[in-house]
Amino acid sequence: MGSVAVSESKTMLTLPGDAVRQILWRFAGRFDLQMLVQSARSVARGTVARLVAAGERNTHEWTPGKAGMMEAFDRAGVTAAFMEPEEGGFIAGPKNLALALAAFELAWVDGGAATASMASFLALSPIHERGTHDQVTRYKTLAAPPQPGEDRRPWRGAFALTEPIPYVGVDTGMLSGKVRVAEWKDGQEPWLQVEKRGRFITNIAFANFVTAAVGSDDPRIKGTCVVILEEGDEGSFDRGTPTKKLVHQLSSTGDPIFSLKVPASRIVGGYTVKDGVIVPNYNHGEIIEAVFRRTRVPVGLMTSAKLLSAVEPVIRYQRERFRGAEGSKPGSVRYEQGIQQREDALHRLVDVWAAGEAATSLGFAAARLFDELDPLEKVKTALLKERGVQGGRAELKALKESEQRAVELLSLREDDPRRAELEADFLVDYVLKDAEANVICPATKLWNTGHGANMMREAVSLMGGYGITEDCPGFLANKWMDAQLEATYEGPEAVQRRQLTVTMISEVFLAQFRAWTAQMRGIASLRPGTGACTLASAMQMWHWTLNHLQKATDPDGGKLYHGQRQGVTFALADALCWLLASRYQILDVLELEAHGGDDAVAAEGLAGIVQFLSDLCHTQAAQAAGETSRICAELVFGYNRHPAWADEAHQGCFLTSELEEYEETMPGITAMAVDVLAADGSHPLKAGPCADCAGSSEFLRLQSKLTTCLSGARLAKDRAADTVSKVMIPEALDYPA
């Protein structure tokens, strides 16, 4: 156990604290991020918790209390977390992990509060990602909170993509928002007339500016773009009526209508004029892709925070359940342990906890990866520009060679001399990280929110009737409903699945996936208790199934792995998410084991915490394996037509008379035969002769191996449950009910 003393207790005594979390989620060396976590937490468990407890979620209106919350974010430094130091911020460099941590802390108490703080960043993101220098400076400076002594209210933004039905929703290509040339005097900047109606637009009650997606309604403007609208612009800036949400009521949402005249310099990223036509430098699709790629990660972490936040209230409820009853005297098992005497209650809580750990590990891994990728992306763009390559297809083509080199690198042995050259290749590093990010961002959004919402229901159910009341500590019922919004906005599950079905089959990703599978076996040989071997077997089955389905057809000859066949592709994407979450969970625990001893606070009781978190990994890996096995088996077998008694296939069956004859030379064969036809043609009562399918023996071999790999998983769960029944928790929750 690394630096941990062997004699130390292997039982976790208290809930994992900040020192442990900082190592698991890799910000132990980042004092700026630790400060941000503390200040976001103080607003969450102070101002926000008090608003929720006071019933502010019961109104759709934007109230002074909710507005006060935004100011509390400003004071706590949450608003400034998006800005560069020169723009009024305090964190230098990429901020994906910073924003993810802030969202996690706020959502620990209330998802709407987290969304309210993130929505302004979402509005600024198109400008941050693709805006011109002037645009970035203007809007980020205006949106930065005032410095001490400065008398100014920070600007808040809203991001308007979604439109009234039947336009933009999942399908972002169907835009009804329009832009026309309003005025264009010779040699001067053109003025644009923007008509945009939004649906479900966050922050709209108070936004000072809006980044809106629109398409051209004028031959003098090419394609689509994102434009910046300001509340003072000429025309109508109608905020519309508030949406009657059942969730996230601490954020503002409504259906605005904009009809505004703005200068063409408001086109995000600028434009050029070619043959009398305004050509935006970026279309709305390019901008939105760059934005959502990053902003979807904190959304996934918002749901995982809810799962982990449920642990302490549930433990307290379970333990105290029978106190005060006659016959439940202090010191008795019933008094001390309450519902925790019962295995099922403990096991279900272990499942919630394990899912929360896995989802959080996946989400923070994605956030960190984007922090690494952000600077690489800039260098990549500059490098390719030097070579005369700029964006779109030309860029994809130019990166093809680097992709081949990346795949080659992953196939080389540790001692291969060519490794050094490929490892030093900047573009190889870029394509590897890019391929991983293209998968783990949608995986975080999809799995954390979708599976997270299901697991929040479990958490609520553990509190019995209390769980579905406003009085429930930890606001669990609110969180259950809120999780569903997190699964929906910024692109619902279908959008994430659609993206995964493309990115997860990239050659570079699959080469990494194979390397990760081998890596898990390696980990398993050193740390068998993590479930890494189970996971590796499940990863192998997923990969085998993908290969099989890419070649296989249905009985009519139709391809199975095909964009239109969501029944196949979406299901495989779902299975992959389980595997990825489990992988990052295991890697985090190894990190804690390796570095926990470096920190005096984390080192205390480290062996017990590592043991418990490993048991959660094992529990989660077993669930991931089960899901993968179920999904893959259904896909591999489910598209074969079942043989019928009436068709040719039954010719492979024995007749009773034949069996009697064979029995003389092969005693015992009767016991082995399953599909036996009687002389009159009657057959056993079942769908038809048992099915077989091409390649099934290989699949069944993998499946049978995977099943035996589950050995020990329930023992790990029992051990985790035992710890949950003994772990110390604080006297009371640190925020009000």
User: Based on CB atoms, which residue is closest to ligand FAD, 248 or 618?
Assistant: 248
Question: How far, in whole angstroms, is CA 51 from its chain's centroid?
Answer: 28
Closest CB 51 distance from ligand FAD, rounded Å = 17
Three-state DSSP class for 179?
Answer: strand
Closest CB 229 distance from ligand FAD, rounded Å = 13
Closest CB 143 distance from ligand FAD, rounded Å = 16
Nearest residue to 637 (alpha-carbon basis) of 521, 733, 548: 548
Type of residue found at 443: A
Closest CB 70 distance from ligand FAD, rounded Å = 15
| DSSP symbols for 261-316 | EEEGGGBTT-EEEETTEEEESS-HHHHHHHHHHHHHHHHHHHHHHHHHHHHHHHHH
Type of residue found at 594: A
CA distance 75 to 69: 10
Q: Can you give 53-67 as a three-state secondary structure string?
A: HCCHHHCCCCCHHHH
Closest CB 167 distance from ligand FAD, rounded Å = 9
> What's the token pair of residue 210?
């809006």
Closest CB 227 distance from ligand FAD, rounded Å = 14
In 131-238, which residue ranges form alpha helices assigned H by DSSP?
A: 133-143
User: Based on CB atoms, which residue is closest to ligand FAD, 119 or 459?
Assistant: 119
User: Based on CB atoms, which residue is closest to ligand FAD, 170 or 518?
Assistant: 170
Rounded alpha-carbon distances, angstroms, from residue 517 to 364, 534, 555: 21, 10, 32
User: Based on CB atoms, which residue is closest to ligand FAD, 292 or 322?
Assistant: 292
Q: Identify any residues that bridge with 237 across adjacent strands, giving them in sequence order.
A: 258
Q: Which residues bind ligand FAD (CB under 6 A)?
A: 119, 159-162, 169-170, 200-202, 245, 248, 253, 485, 488-494, 566
Closest CB 244 distance from ligand FAD, rounded Å = 10
> What's the token pair of residue 181?
């040339």
Residue with smallest beta-carbon separation from ligand FAD: 169
User: Based on CB atoms, which residue is closest to ligand FAD, 25 or 570?
Assistant: 570
User: Based on CB atoms, which residue is closest to ligand FAD, 243 or 337?
Assistant: 243
CA distance 583 to 532: 8
User: Based on CB atoms, which residue is closest to ligand FAD, 450 or 643?
Assistant: 450
Residue carrying structure tokens 């040699």: 187
User: Based on CB atoms, which residue is closest to ligand FAD, 202 or 506?
Assistant: 202
User: Based on CB atoms, which residue is closest to ligand FAD, 39 or 484?
Assistant: 484
Closest CB 202 distance from ligand FAD, rounded Å = 3
Closest CB 456 distance from ligand FAD, rounded Å = 17
Residues, the chain: 737
Type of residue found at 249: Q
Query: Could you tell me if 540 and 574 are in contact, meaning their C-beta atoms sit under 8 angstroms apart?
Result: no
Rounded alpha-carbon distances, angstroms, from residue 349 to 314, 718, 721: 8, 12, 8
